[in-house]
Amino acid sequence: KGAMIVDGRKVEFDREKNVLEVVRKAGINLPTFCYHSELSIYGACRMCIVEDERGNTFASCSQLPSDGMKIFTNTPKIRKYRKTILEMILANHERDCTACDRTGICELQDLAIRFGIKDIRFDETRKHLPIDKSSLSIVRNPNKCILCGDCVRVCEEMQGVGALSFAYRGSSMTVTPAFNRDIAEVNCVNCGQCRNVCPTGAIIIKNENDRVWEVVNDRSKRVIAQVAPAVRVALGEEFGLEPGEVTIGKIVAALKAIGIDEVYDTAFAADMTVIEESKEFMERLSLGEDLPLFTSCCPGWVKFAENKFPDMMDHVSSCKSPQQMFGAVLKEYYKNEKNNAEGKETVVISVMPCTAKKAEAAREEFEQEGIRDVDFVITTQELALLIKEAGIIFHQLEEESFDMPFGLASGSGIIFGATGGVTEAVVTRLLKDKPDHSTKDILFKEVRGLENLKEAVFNVDGKEVKVAIVHGLKNTDELIKQIKAGERYYDFIEVMACPGGCVAGGGQPIPVNAEMRRERAKGLYKLDRTSHIKSSDKNPIVASLFEGILKDNHDLLHVHKKQ
Ligand code: HC0
Ligand code: SF4
């Protein structure tokens, strides 16, 4: 606690972790490439330098605030220094801005404009390095990397994966997967969190919008889109709306305007997942077998489990994720009902907040007789580009509702997009016959010593059930190690790879920070409160599917994972 003098003004500080945060509190947007409040401090970019009374300069992210400290943020010395850093970075940077996916939302471009960089006094130092397109989810272009190390730290510190690291020294320094391999050949789980923190176009989403244009212009195709819960509370940010603002009506209208024939709600399939996963859980609970049961809807987590805990795969639910359940059901439905009659081929596109969903859809266990359940996946970010490319004026769109029959979802299905949502939906379902209970009565409490882990105990049919919710793969890793060591026990564990759940997925609009996560999750909970159907088993269309095409065909909803 104390007060600092920033540019002659007194600013009090309390919990601010460093001088940079105090300066920002004073309303001054100090530039930085490498500071993220949730990651360790690297202090490498030095854009956030400030000057003290004696003329010494230091990186404000790496300095603790102290009472009475006097600093200046815009002295001639600092301005000259910042410009020089920017020019050096730009001399080493592939500057084909018009061809770059990040143009307009690039932090380097922003700062070059902000500091009036017109010409670069240094010779170009860049060597052309190959672009890594091996991943199904992200593209790495090392020629645009500014060595801030954000991706390296997020992958290691938040996700516990460590797929990226610095290699070589001096002017040859690069960020690369281990042994200079392609990213698809290492332990990357496709979560896209590295893309969320990359300030430039060095890590971008693998864009599949060309495929959308191709299929919507092909009359022999019936093109169906499913839209994930978390997309509807984030897309608006791309069009100047606040995070958490629900734009689902406009999303449906935009997809129709682009030429998609039918638009459905992935939350509908989440209702199917709740029913199947609850059933699987109750069976395991009564047999006392293969507990804890881990959720399987997050593909980043599933891949992480396969890489790190192959011996635990029997504990991961056999349910397909909602995305994949939906694809399988849609293909089956149209195969039976319409395709033959109309002679059309059904194409299923998913619109997801997640880069790992692209890789999930491509897994070979998610195809029947050579036909993929989901043909391809575009992210929220790609949808925004698609809308812009089509020239659609988003705020003028008249809202439309989802198509029927698969556009009807319960509030339980919608909250899947936020951490804790799957558990809440499953618990609601398990307690469905207990009018004296509601999920609101179940108290989730933070678990000490482990971040982003919550637990609760409740009673089902006389049995005590212990559930946990964890997000962020590093935390998950630690949790599993403790479970294996016998230090903790749970019956049911929901895992989401991205901190905050899908609302903070690697395909969402950037920036993704704590405030965005909170506001987007609030948007989903608001939808839950205002939905007519609260719990998944009350979804009449889901019920009729279980009586209809799924009656003797439950295999469509399950996967038997290879170990
Ligand atoms: Fe999610 Fe999903 S909730 S993973 O977070 O389960 O991506 O939004 O679509 O599949 O429904 C993502 C979000 C989904 C799936 C659903 C689940
Ligand atoms: Fe690491 Fe996720 Fe990026 Fe892969 S996608 S390199 S796992 S942060």
* Residue 516 pLDDT: 93
d(CA 191, CA 142): 19
Alpha helices of 343-469 — where are they, by DSSP H?
356-361, 380-389, 411-414, 421-430
- Phi-psi group of 311: left, alpha or beta (phi > 0 → left; psi -120 to 50 → alpha; rest → beta): alpha
Q: Which of 191, 308, 502, 535 is catalytic?
A: 502
Cβ distance 250 to 374 under 8 Å? no
Alpha helix positions (H), 30-106:
76-91
**328: domain CATH number?**
3.40.50.1780
Whether the upstream peptide bond of residue 199 has omega within 30° of 0, thus cis, is no
Ligand 2 mean position to 313 CA, how many Å? 21
| Residue 479 · residue 455 · CB < 8 Å | no
Ligand 1 atom 6, closest CA: 297
CATH number of the domain to which 14 belongs: 3.10.20.740
Ligand nearest to the CA of 197: 2
The yes/no answer to whether this complex scores an ipTM above 0.85 is yes
Of 74, 91, 109, the position where a domain reaches its end is: 74
Residue 367 a catalytic site member: no
Q: Where are the beta strands (DSSP E) in 49-146?
A: 49-52, 57-59, 70-72, 138-140
Quick one: tokens of 263?
Answer: 């638009």
280 assigned to active site? yes
Q: How far is CA 304 from the centre of its chain?
A: 15
Residue closest by Cα to atom 2 of ligand 2: 191
Peptide bond into 511 cis (omega under 30): yes
Three-state secondary structure of 274-326 = HHHHHHHHHHHHHHCCCCCEECCCCHHHHHHHHHHCHHHHHHECCECCHHHHH
Are residues 193 and 215 both part of a single domain? no
Question: Could you tell me if residue 114 is inside a domain?
Answer: no
- For residue 263, what are the domain limits? 210-557
Q: Are residues 503 and 541 located together in one domain of the fold?
A: yes
- Token readout for 403 is 């198509």
Ligand 2 atom, smallest distance to 355 CA? 5
CB 180 within 8 A of CB 167: yes
Query: Any idea which ligand is nearest the CA of 39?
Result: 2
Number of the ligand closest to the Cα of 379: 1
Quick check: is 116 in a domain? no
Measured from CB, residues less than 6 Å from any atom of ligand 2 are 138, 154-155, 159, 161, 163-164, 188-194
Which of 226, 273, 298, 423 best tests ligand 1's pocket when mutated (most atoms within 8 Å of CB)?
298
In the Cβ-directed half-sphere of 248, how many Cα atoms lie within 13 Å? 23
SS3 51: strand
Question: Quick one: which ligand is closest to 380's CA?
Answer: 1
Residues with CB under 6 A from ligand 1: 228-230, 266-267, 270, 273, 297-298, 321-323, 352-354, 357, 416-417, 422, 501-502, 505
Task: Give me 235's structure tokens.
Answer: 């897309």
For the CA atoms of 154, 478, 417, 445, the dihedral, rounded to the nearest 10 degrees, stands at -120
Q: Which two tokens stand for residue 311?
A: 């011996």
Whether 317 is catalytic = yes
Q: Which atom of ligand 2 is nearest to the CA of 195?
A: 3
Instruction: Examine the domain organization and report whether 29 and 164 are in the same domain.
Output: no
Pure H helices in 204-247: 209-216
C-alpha 209 to ligand 2 mean position (Å): 22
Whole-number Å distance, alpha carbon 190 to ligand 2 midpoint, is 5
Q: What is the pLDDT along the chain (563 residues), one digit of tens a residue?
A: 899 999 999 999 998 999 999 999 999 999 999 999 889 998 889 999 999 999 999 999 999 999 999 999 999 999 999 999 999 999 989 989 999 999 999 999 999 999 999 888 888 777 789 999 999 999 999 999 999 999 999 999 999 999 999 998 888 899 999 889 999 999 999 999 999 999 999 999 999 999 999 999 999 999 999 999 999 999 999 999 999 999 999 999 999 999 999 999 999 999 999 999 999 999 999 898 899 999 999 999 999 999 999 999 999 999 999 999 999 999 988 886 655 667 789 999 999 999 999 999 999 999 988 899 999 999 999 999 999 999 999 999 999 999 999 999 998 888 888 888 888 888 888 877 665 555 556 677 877 777 789 998 888 878 889 999 999 999 999 999 999 999 999 999 999 999 999 999 999 999 999 999 999 999 999 999 999 898 888 999 999 988 888 888 888 899 865 43
Contact 35, 100 (CB under 8 A): no
Q: How buried is 104 (Cβ within 10 angstroms: 0-12 exposed, 13-18 middle, 19+ buried)?
A: exposed
CATH number at residue 142: 3.30.70.20
178 C-beta neighbours (distance < 10 Å), count: 14
Q: Is 357 a catalytic residue?
A: yes
Please indicate, yes or no, whether residues 422 and 505 belong to a single structural domain of this protein.
Answer: yes
Same domain, 24 and 132: no
Residue 47 lies in a domain: yes
Query: Do 290 and 146 fall within a single domain?
Result: no
Question: What's the CA-to-centroid distance between 193 and ligand 2, angstroms?
Answer: 6
What's the domain count of the chain? 3
Nearest CA to ligand 2 atom 3: 194
- Of 16, 49, 74, at which residue does a domain stop? 74
Residue 84 lies in a domain: no
What pTM value is reported for the model?
Answer: 0.94
Active-site entry in 135, 137, 317, 321: 317
Backbone angles phi, psi at 71, to 5 degrees: -135, 160
Question: Are 352 and 507 in contact, with CB atoms under 8 Å apart?
Answer: yes
CA of 188 to the centre of ligand 2 (A): 5
Is 234 in the same domain as 188? Answer: no
Task: Say yes or no: 224 and 143 in one domain.
Answer: no
Q: What pLDDT is stored for residue 434 in this prediction?
A: 65
User: Among the options 106, 198, 297, 498, which is catalytic?
Assistant: 297
Active site residue 360: yes
Give the Å distance between the CA of 507 and the centre of ligand 2. 12
Looking from the CA of residue 269, the nearest atom of ligand 1 is 11
Q: Which of 189, 205, 221 is the last residue of a domain?
A: 205
Residue 37 placed within a domain: yes
Distance CA 116, CA 482 (A): 52
CA 31/CA 416 separation, integer angstroms: 35
- Whether 388 is a known active-site residue: answer no
